[in-house]
Structure 1
Amino acid sequence: MRRGSGLFAVAIFFLLSATFSTITSGAAEIPTGIATDPILQPPPEDGKPIEVTIGMHIVNISSIDEVSEQFEIDAYLFEGWVDKRLAYQSEGPQDQVRNYAIGQIWIPQLEMINAATRRQVDEVSIMVSPDGAVRYAERLIVRLSSRFELRRFPFDQQQLVVIIHPFRVDGPQVDFKLNDASTWTASEFKSYSSLAQWHLISLHSEILTAPTYGGLTMPEARFEIDVKRRSMFYLWKVFLPLLLMVFLSWAVFWIETSDLSNQITVAVTTILTVIAFAFAISATMPRLPYLTYIDAFFLECYIFVFLAVVELMTVHVTHRSELRRDLGLRIRRYSRWAIPAAFVATNVIIAVHFLG
């Protein structure tokens, strides 16, 4: 019985030894298996940064959301650089370009640092000329965030910004240069743009340097798209209804002073209508920590509708007293022109402050 137990222990010992040797040998082979192909490393430039020509062609801007301060673009991103390791002897007129796939050669890793979603790349083209010049193009769709200046809203003009940096690992090895051949003009959007609220004006680009950790810098490519809002929607759907509501509140100035019931009905109905209207369109308004032009106009309408109620109650109280009845009538006569004049003057001041 003891002899059988000893043989069983010896067998277990050899089994564990064999397993440990297999694991150890497998672990030792891991570095060899993941060795990187030299062609996937950046080309040697004697310590100098690799000059990458960059350009962008905007195909479409599918949406601009001022509430979330984001926009979505469909575009081509172009890159170009020289990799002497890929140079070859052309074998004839048909061998002037050779195509490669992702993962076969080194490609600069670029990132859109203001992207709100992952960049969706649909198509990629990599072509190499006999002299080693590489031309890279990708079709992308991405949603980006950009700081909107909405103080003049809805009569504003915005600058949508696409900011591109090399990936931090490639940052010190890459230098940007603009590709002027990929110039974009707004005329391309006239036939198919879905931005009914916006008029696209122009696109311009520039190369800057951005600071990084340790006092280092990296190149930054900025593509700025200028767009101007078409404000007719807000004129017809917001400003005009609000003006009519304010005008309606002034109807109390022309109702007989003794007819309190009808005056209160008009005033209260107008206030409730303005409040309901504000709630109805609040979802389409940007949520900002500062006042915009349309916010100021809303507040002005609230105040002047409230003033109509104050005037109504003042005239009613004075009219009930025989001694002050004439005062109430004078207030009513002055209100008929003083309050509308003050409304016009206030509108001019607000327009100059926000739009001037």
Structure 2
Amino acid sequence: MRWMHSTESEIEIGLISFKPCIDYDKNGAQTHSIKEKALKSYEGHYLEVWTRIQLLWKMILMVVLCFQFYHSSGELSRHDLIHQLIDESHYDPLIAPNYEDDFPTNISVQMLIKNIHSLDELHMDFSVDIIFRQRWTDKRLKFNHSTVRILELDQKMIERIWVPDSFFPQEKRAEIHDVTVPNRLLHIYRNGTVFYSMRIEMTLSCAMALQNYPLDRQVCPVSIESYSYTRENIDFYWERHNPVLIPSISLPQFTMPDTVKTSACSTEYGEVGDFACLLLELQFDRNTGYYIAQIFIPSILIVILSWVSFWVDIDAIPARVSLGVLTVLTMTTQSSGARSALPRVSYIKAIDVWMAVCLTFVFMALLEFAYINVVSRRNSKPIRTASQCDKALNKGVSKTKTCK
């Protein structure tokens, strides 16, 4: 609201202007009316109100600016926040989170199987590529920040954070992928939850039962344990949802079911103590297509081929002997080839029974020819002595054909 007096004694209020009413006294002098006095009083009142409003707005703006300045200056950057959390004065990465408490640190485990390379019956092991994830709560790593929700640590910073000493008892060989850098990550959340993940390629032993080979089904256990902390300090749990994730994996000789069996276990090492353990069972169903085409059908044909000698003329001795010996040698070679990819176990396998039966049929065909050949030659041999002739007559043999 703006007031100004014009030269013609006009008063402007905003865009409205008017002239005050003028009265004259007895001497002819001009005097302002009551309306003009009221207008001046009105003007002074609103100027005072406007001044107070401006002052109030300035105070509010100052408070807001001060609050923002205090709020922004009181929070640390990500770099400073990480270094504050892992400061050695109050954080020791060599001690478990709940080491001084009466309850263990619960480690939640999840496993993502990326690939299964091979299942070797000879060495009784299999190779697997997994992403191993662990999650736990470390109250020493709690932080409060308005904008930072997760702290992502670099590979070198992970060494300054406590992580579980998990290991796989069935492991033969293992390594963490390091192309282009070691494949590990660690996230810290506001409430102190730590998420730790790594990509591991390892070869695990699997005690296979080959009694039904090649019509068998193998179950390979994968155990996860803590090496140095007993159940009093560390306890393992599978993730509540999807503890094991297995994408579509294609194996040349096996198929895997869509679901796997997970359970908790416990291992007792005598005086050392009771250690937490998790168990994963991987099931492999063997495909029989390869063995039908490479073992069963060829062995059946070899047995049938050995029976061809029954239709060969009895006097064609070289042909029948060659055919019988050839089938026996072929069957023996095939049996040795089928067992070459298997370990030397003490029990009898299904493939051993099959090969033994086929070899028996082939060998019996060869023995049958030898027996028939001996009997045929004995009947066709002439009798030269009287005693032999009498014996032949007693058996009903014609004298004209045998006695000379």
**Could you tell me the TM-score, scaled by structure 2's length?**
0.66
In the alignment, what sits opposite 1:276? 333
- Aligned to 2:322, the other structure's residue is in SS state helix
Does 2:97 match 1:38? Answer: no
The answer to whether 1:208 aligns with 2:265 is yes
For 1:40-59, what aligned pairs fall within 5 Å after superposition? 40-44=94-98, 45-59=100-114
CA positional deviation for 1:216: 2.6
Q: How does 1:193-342 map to 2 (within 5 A)?
A: 193=250, 195-201=251-257, 202-214=259-271, 216-322=273-379
One-letter identity of the residue aligned with 2:112: H
- Whether contact under 8 Å (2:110, 2:244) holds in the other structure is no
Residue 116 (structure 1) aligns with: 172
Distance, in Å, in 2 between the alignment partners of 1:289 and 1:102 is 49
- Aligned match of 1:146 in 192, 199, 206? 206
For 1:315 and 1:133, locate their aligned partners in 2 and report how far apart those are by CA, in whole Å: 85
1:97 aligned residue: 150
Counterpart contact for 2:111–2:245, Cα < 8 Å: no
Give the residue type in structure 2 aligned to 1:127.
H
- Aligned CA RMSD, in angstroms, stands at 2.4
CA contact (8 A) 2:126 2:205 kept: yes
Aligned mate of 1:79, from 134, 139, 145: 134
Amino acid in structure 1 at the alignment position of 2:379: E
SS at match of 2:136: strand
Task: Output the amino acid matched with 2:356.
Answer: L
For the pair shown, which has the larger CA radius of gyration, 1 or 2? 2
Give the deviation of 1:259 after TM superposition: 2.6
Would the aligned equivalents of 1:125 and 1:137 in 2 still touch at CA under 8 Å?
Answer: yes
Letter in 2 for 1:96: R
Distance 1:311 1:51 in 2: 73
Rounded Cα–Cα distance in structure 2 between residues aligned with 1:221 and 1:107: 17
Q: Secondary structure at the match of 1:322?
A: helix
Distance of 2:233 and 2:177 partners within structure 1 = 24
Give the alignment partner of residue 127 of structure 1, picking from 184, 187, 192. 187
Q: Which 5+ residue runs of structure 1 have no aligned equivalent?
A: 1-34, 325-356
**Runs of 5+ consecutive residues of structure 2 not aligned to the other structure:** 1-88, 382-404
Whether the aligned pair in 1 keeps the contact of 2:174 and 2:200 (CA below 8 Å) is no
- Between Structure 1 and Structure 2, the one with more helix by share is 1
RCO higher in structure (CA 8 A, sep ≥6): 1
CA contact (8 A) 1:58 1:74 kept: yes
Question: Aligned pairs, how many?
Answer: 285
Given that residues 230 and 276 in structure 2 are in contact (C-alpha distance below 8 angstroms), is that contact kept between their aligned partners in structure 1?
Answer: no
Gap change, CA 1:233 and 1:119, over 3 Å in 2: same
